[in-house]
Structure 1
């Protein structure tokens, strides 16, 4: 789709069913409503759009609208493997809507891999932030040595287009940047992912290309975990050395490598509720979304439990925002395609329980 075309797509799945026209993505194929051949009643919610495949939705309220910064899945023809090479995305699109479940606008290409000077391949899950009159798009992509780094691009509007900085953020590595700005204006980046996200290949600040392809830890040792770094005032660099995000169980002991139902895998997100910091993440190969809470943005965080059961698809990647006094989670599954690498974004309401935990969400009806 050309950048100057901004079609408005209804979020109502009825309209998806009626519409026979789909805009082509850059692979020359379209996100067809294959789910119409399935029993759509088994899904808690329906896809927000069907003109393209989208995943990993990072949602924010900017300028009175909800803006969503997702990955843009395509059929690249890359063979599937445990490193995730089949997730071979090449640009970012930006979506917006005036209200949850309202009309969705596709703003076209916001950033293309060919316009990132240092990039090699695979534009994975991004995030966005706003400060000092500028919008920032943070993205992981493999450099020309096939090592994931995190870059940043800027724009004067939340819909883009964005212009990438000439180099990745110094000291950055791995995937899934999530930027949280606290009440005092300080911004932090949470990031990291194991397996295809390469976190297990980093030790003592150095990358080992021959390192493990999986967790890279002994089963009874503390699990690899996400990273955190405070951002500089200009939002373009780290203002401090990278630190670990420590997740403890209720007895104060670190989660172990063998604890695949609870340990961090990827997809970090941070939100603040009633003065508490909620670190939420995906357990990856066990497909849960989990939460941990702290009184400090650095942690340590105490594991709370699962708050979303597995979606249809390999795993999910989410964001949580407040809109007009209510909380919502944006996530993805594979309803439209039934294929792991061709996903679609969704949204549903999220609740905080009286005890401070997050209410359990069941994306599939039993």
Structure 2
């Protein structure tokens, strides 16, 4: 992105991240293919000389932001569908101009991955303007629900929902966004008691910082609040109604605190929430996982309730190749897996590919660190 030279990037990965950030900018400026779908051949080695821990699940299209779920004993992945719109990189994320969703499915980890085609197109969302960003899905009441952020006709992100009788769609969008929704990256979690919650929000291009006073401020900060000594912006959480189409309450902050119970601060860039939240439950505890954004980690915090507060524990994925980090975590046949993305196929920040690797909870409940590269 244009401000990458100011970012905090770990020394071990900095050359790779910066190199690919500027490759992405140059590509977007010079691209002659505005509707690129077919991907390049995967490179066996990364620019840092190491091998990739995992290989792309699919190479026929670019996919990112994978929200994985197990429905009826099968894995379904709900990713963003990247393509090259020829838009230069910027901090608003205009280069991420996605316009439809393809749903992937697989019977087992390591097995064949099927692209089930277009499940929802932006042209079939009545209130949508542009930028169909990272989705998630849920199952309840015999139906499947696809949640998605998209900018409305006034360039403001809200979250919509579409419904289908099948996990692969096609999905029919509701005529209006979810009332009270804003920003990006919906992640839907159903607890063991049947209650369902949505976690959402993302700063910078995700506009969360423009809602700090409860109303959208078009002239608000373009990045974050830039108040280092005050509590950092954090993920929003709201319980859904039983019909899965509405919030049953006003969204509240899922506060992330340190081990002394104090909220993480704006200056805590290696720890604080940026975007891409996910919730999973392990041994009765609620694991909020999320991206630190401009420092490129996946981090986690643990709470006693779905609302938190969530006590920061550390990071569990080192920076991948590329700028963004967005993930999901599922349990499948007795093991846990992390779905994530990088830019192995393209080397361009806005053209990503989905991957999967095993995730391990240590005996003390911590998550084992994952390095996306191996020697």
When normalised by structure 1's length, the TM-score is: 0.91
Q: CA deviation at 1:315?
A: 2.2
Deviations 1:214-244 (A, max 9, x none): 1114110000001000000000000001100
Q: Is the CA contact 1:288–1:315 (under 8 Å) kept in the aligned structure 2?
A: no
Deviations 1:238-295 (A, max 9, x none): 0001100100001111100011000000000000000000000000000000000011
Aligned to 1:9: none
Q: 2:38 aligns with which of 23, 30, 36?
A: 30
Structure 1 residues 320, 254: closer, same or farther in 2, change over 3 A? same
Q: Is the CA contact 2:102–2:116 (under 8 Å) kept in the aligned structure 1?
A: yes
Structure 1 residue ranges, 4+ long, deviating more than 3 angstroms after superposition:
36-41
Distance 1:353 1:315 in 2: 26
C-alpha RMSD over aligned residues: 1.4
Instruction: Return 5+ residue gaps in structure 1 as ranges.
Output: 1-24
Aligned to 2:150: 141
Equivalence map 1:33-52=2 (5 Å): 33-35=41-43, 42-52=51-61
Q: What SS is found at the alignment partner of 1:207?
A: coil
Aligned to 1:273: 282
Residues 1:97 and 2:106 are matched in the alignment: yes
Deviations 1:2-60 (A, max 9, x none): xxxxxxxxxxxxxxxxxxxxxxx991441121525867961111000100000000000
Distance 1:91 1:228 in 2: 26
Equivalence map 1:1-366=2 (5 Å): 27-35=35-43, 42-365=51-374
Distance 1:62 1:27 in 2: 32
Q: CA deviation at 1:356?
A: 1.1
Structure 1 residues 354, 170: closer, same or farther in 2, change over 3 A? same
Q: Is the CA contact 1:134–1:157 (under 8 Å) kept in the aligned structure 2?
A: yes
Q: What SS is found at the alignment partner of 2:55?
A: coil
Q: CA deviation at 1:101?
A: 1.2
Distance 2:174 2:46 in 1: 44
For these two proteins, the number of residue pairs brought into alignment is: 342
Structure 1 residues 324, 171: closer, same or farther in 2, change over 3 A? same
Deviations 1:124-174 (A, max 9, x none): 000000000000000000000000000000000001010000000000000
Distance 2:90 2:195 in 1: 39
Q: Is the CA contact 1:217–1:224 (under 8 Å) kept in the aligned structure 2?
A: no
Q: Is the CA contact 2:342–2:353 (under 8 Å) kept in the aligned structure 1?
A: yes
Deviations 1:300-350 (A, max 9, x none): 000000111000000210000000110000000000000000000000000
When normalised by structure 2's length, the TM-score is: 0.89
Distance 1:29 1:253 in 2: 46
Distance 1:74 1:152 in 2: 23
Range 198-207 or range 321-330, more displaced: 198-207
Distance 2:250 2:206 in 1: 20
